[in-house]
Structure 1
Amino acid sequence: ILLFSGANKITVSNVEIVRVDLAFSIDNVTEVNINNVKIMEPTAITDVPKGAFRIRNMYQSSIKNVTIDGNGMQGILFNIYQNLVDVLISNITATNINDLHLFHADSSSNVKNLVVNNSTFEMKKVTTQRARFRGVGSTALFENNTFINTGAKYSSLFSNDAGTSISLTQNKHSGFTNLAVTSDASILSNNIDLDK
């Protein structure tokens, strides 16, 4: 696990993280840039499922060029608490994801100007919506991503709460009837169903 607490203006690059139950724990950071990282062979070391990134209070930062092999991973890929402001998540390649949340921001979260783009998420199994933003007033843009479910087809991936403004634009998806659940508060535009 790489722990960043109170960090400012730090770059982490060219790192391979192997056999951990949580790769990054990020708390109260500004201008932290994570680039060119591999997360491999995740293991459940503790009884509490964790995932890849646990983020609390991150500002003006980026997470780019990350390869994640999720085989055996438990928890949430990107778990967001409290404030996430002006953050870019780009060029993520996540494979072998087995019924995990890709993104989860709880009801107390304040997400502003999050951009997730140019990334691929491949899931082996999906039994419920796996991307959810709950904090009222939260804003994010998901653009030019690919979401693939190779297991049994599921109804939808996103389920964002009322009061959020999550834009889903020019994404591709397969293995889902719709990108977002019917009651979802997302703003959808020019997304492509690869199964049609």
Structure 2
Amino acid sequence: MGRRAIIFHGTGAGPGVAWYPWLAKRLEERGCSVEVPHYPGLNVEPIATFLPQVLAAHRFDDETVLVGHSGGAALLLALLERVPAAQAILVAGYCTRPNDSDEPVLQDTYDWEAIRAHCGELIFINSRQDPYGCDEHQGRAMFDRLGGTQIVRDDGHFGDWNQVYDEFPLLDRLIR
């Protein structure tokens, strides 16, 4: 494969939860270099001050595969305004407030054209049964602005404190 992948965890999570370690291992077995960074400030710190830290900590190019879950998926929108990627997969992603919680990871507006121009392939995976509102309507809002592929499942939040989701074979199949 020879690619690099960066897997961004969700709000309040870390690199060792849900399907992140499983996917990292699967990609490494395919010859991919994988980073699963820990960002405790994700969706806690305002995106204006948080984003420069993420940009400085990683190398992005048109061979990079980005995977984000929940708040990590929302982070990908801000990243993709500024950096290239071969592929971006947003799992339980959102582009507007999905519930009543503060969402400091969101920007007020996005340069949708820049995001489209920077990313070779965009895939949105959302669930109709997402307990946080990161549902198929959020996926559709991003799809309508960016194109790509929208996948709708009935799989909750794809991993959560009360939802074991240690493997995610669909992601393994989707990543080129």
TM-score (normalizing by structure 1): 0.33
Which of structures 1 and 2 has the bigger CA Rg? Answer: 1
Relative to its length, the structure with more strand (as a share) is: 1
Relative to its length, the structure with more helix (as a share) is: 2
Which structure is richer in relative contact order (CA contacts within 8 A, separation 6 or more)?
2
